Amino acid sequence: MSRVAIIMGSISDYEVMRNAEEVLKRFQIDFETDVVSAHRTPQKMFQFAKSAEEKGFKVIIAAAGGAAHLPGMVASISNLPVIGVPIKGKTMDGLDSLLSIVQMPKGIPVATVAINGAANAAVLATQILALSDDELKEKIKDYKMQLEKDVDNMSKKLKEESHANI
Ligand SMILES: Nc1c(C(=O)O)ncn1[C@@H]1O[C@H](COP(=O)(O)O)[C@@H](O)[C@H]1O
């Protein structure tokens, strides 16, 4: 059973959203990806949001660009946590998407990540799932340790190259 649903307003968002898939694969979390638009496919959006919990999803990652109403609309219908990914479009550097997603009215939150922050959306989804999954908890610990090691290695490399000594 898939635990995470990744939805996006258009197939043109997929170039960014495949990064969320990569992270979920790394943590061996089953997911389903689909194109759902509040504007272009309102009935499909309603059906998806209404049935997501019944289908066994625990978290929804919803991405959209421009007038990005999809994450907020899904959050208004479903009781599952919704993580919003603002997609950078051709205009306004994605600020329009960010503000559309982040400025939700009280009571209907969307956990908004950075513009094009698909990978972080998947890490956050993993952390939510890890609350009730000890194996995932360990994987998150390892992941963070790896991030630390990566920075240590970068730092060593920089010191070797620049003979810097902090
Ligand atoms: N913001 C939304 C919604 C929605 O919020 O329902 N549906 C599509 N879109 C966005 O329109 C942008 C352009 O879409 P096209 O590339 O298909 O023209 C995409 O970033 C999509 O997420």
Give the pLDDT band (50/70/90) at residue 166: low
Could you give the strand order of the β-sheet that contains 4-8, starting from the edge strand earlier in sequence?
31-35, 4-8, 59-65, 82-87, 111-112
Is the CB of 40 within 6 Å of ligand 1? yes
Task: Find out whether 155 is annotated in a ligand binding site.
Answer: no
Is residue 55 helix, strand or coil? coil
Residues 6+ apart with CB under 8 A from 164: 158
Q: How far, in Å, from the CA of 8 to the mean position of ligand 1?
A: 8
Amino acid 1: pLDDT? 78
CB 56 within 8 Å of CB 92: no
Is the CB of 71 within 6 Å of ligand 1? no
Task: Find out whether 26 is annotated in a ligand binding site.
Answer: no
Give the pLDDT band (50/70/90) at residue 148: very high
Architecture of domain 4-132: 3-Layer(aba) Sandwich (3.40)
List, as one string, the DSSP characters of 58-99.
-EEEEEEESS--HHHHHHHH--S-EEEEEE--SSGGGHHHHH
CB 118 within 8 Å of CB 111: no
Give, for ligand 1, the residue of 6, 7, 10 to mutate: max count of ligand atoms closer than 8 Å to Cβ. Answer: 10
What is the per-residue pLDDT across 9-47, written as a single tens digit (0 to 9) for each? 999 999 999 999 999 999 999 999 999 999 999 999 999
**Domain residue extents for the chain:** 4-132, 134-166
What distance in Å separates the CA atoms of residue 104 and residue 101, rounded to the nearest whole number?
Answer: 7
Amino acid 104: pLDDT? 98
What is the per-residue pLDDT across 37-94, written as a single tens digit (0 to 9) for each? 999 999 999 999 999 999 999 999 999 999 999 999 999 999 999 999 999 999 999 9
What is the per-residue pLDDT across 88-147, written as a single tens digit (0 to 9) for each? 999 999 999 999 999 999 999 999 999 999 999 999 999 999 999 999 999 999 999 999
Amino acid 164: pLDDT? 60
Give, for ligand 1, the residue of 7, 8, 13, 92 to mutate: max count of ligand atoms closer than 8 Å to Cβ. Answer: 13
Atom 6, ligand 1: residue with shortest CA distance: 38
Task: Find out whether 10 is annotated in a ligand binding site.
Answer: yes
pTM of model > 0.90: yes
Which two three-digit tokens encode residue 148?
């630390």
Atom of ligand 1 nearest to the CA of 66: 1
Amino acid 12: pLDDT? 98
Amino acid 165: pLDDT? 59
